[in-house]
Structure 1
Amino acid sequence: MLPDISQKVLTQQLRELEDDGIIDRQVLGDRAPFKVVYSLTETGRSLGKILLQMSLWGEQRANELPNVEIENDHAGFNHLLETL
């Protein structure tokens, strides 16, 4: 779970991503406690290269600003791009 986000906000964001066709939601099990698994759709996977480029662009702009430090190794993006 993401520590800096409430359960309500996380659920809302996941529902919006599902409604937009970016992720699929699968409920596993026939009784509580259920396990919910999310995965990227083809549309979601197609956003990988775009999001990486946007992240790199943002880092370049941030480096032009005084007193701004960016730490990002792009590990999540790299993993996504490997699956494309």
Structure 2
Amino acid sequence: MYSIDDKQFPCSTSLTMKYIGGKWKAVILIHLIEKKRYSELRKECKVITERTLSLQLKEMEEDGLIIRTVYASKPPLRVDYELTEFGRTLIPLLLSIAEWGKQTAKSNKKITVME
């Protein structure tokens, strides 16, 4: 059993999913393997609504997975996101998930690969 802020997790898998679970967190995190400006991330994740992207980024920042850096320059405002050291520990997992998806797409005739 694991606990964070009085929330209990029955196993290590449920604890892991607290950080990367949901429809978009893993997608966003894999795009942040390299530091990105918000506008770059937005273009790469265009299927995610702006509101959802912002909420997921905020959650992952609160969880200590990413760092948000705001540059006080003349408009337009520049905001960068990057993985923390803690967040970088997820890279092997994220790459494995991506590879599994590629292999599944190749082997499953029901899946259409669209470029």
TM-score (norm 1): 0.65
Name the counterpart of 1:77: none
Specify every segment of 5 or more residues in structure 1 that has no aligned partner in the other structure, as ranges: 73-84
**Aligned to 1:44, what secondary structure does the other structure show?**
helix
Over 3 Å counting, the alpha-carbon distance change for 1:9 and 1:39 in structure 2 is same
Specify every segment of 5 or more residues in structure 2 that has no aligned partner in the other structure, as ranges: 1-41
RMSD: 2.5
**55-64 vs 45-54, greater mean Cα deviation:** 55-64
1:23–1:38 Cα contact (<8 Å) kept: yes
Kindly state the Cα deviation for residue 33 of structure 1 after the two structures are TM-superposed: 4.7
CA distance in 2, matches of 1:68, 1:61: 8
**36-45 vs 57-66, greater mean Cα deviation:** 57-66
Which amino acid counterpart does residue 50 of structure 2 have in structure 1? Q
1:59–1:70 Cα contact (<8 Å) kept: no
1:1-84 → structure 2 map (5 Å cutoff): 1-2=42-43, 3-29=46-72, 33-70=76-113
Q: Which runs of 4+ in 1 moved over 4 A?
A: 30-33
Q: Count how many residue pairs are aligned between Structure 1 and Structure 2.
A: 72
Over 3 Å counting, the alpha-carbon distance change for 1:58 and 1:30 in structure 2 is closer
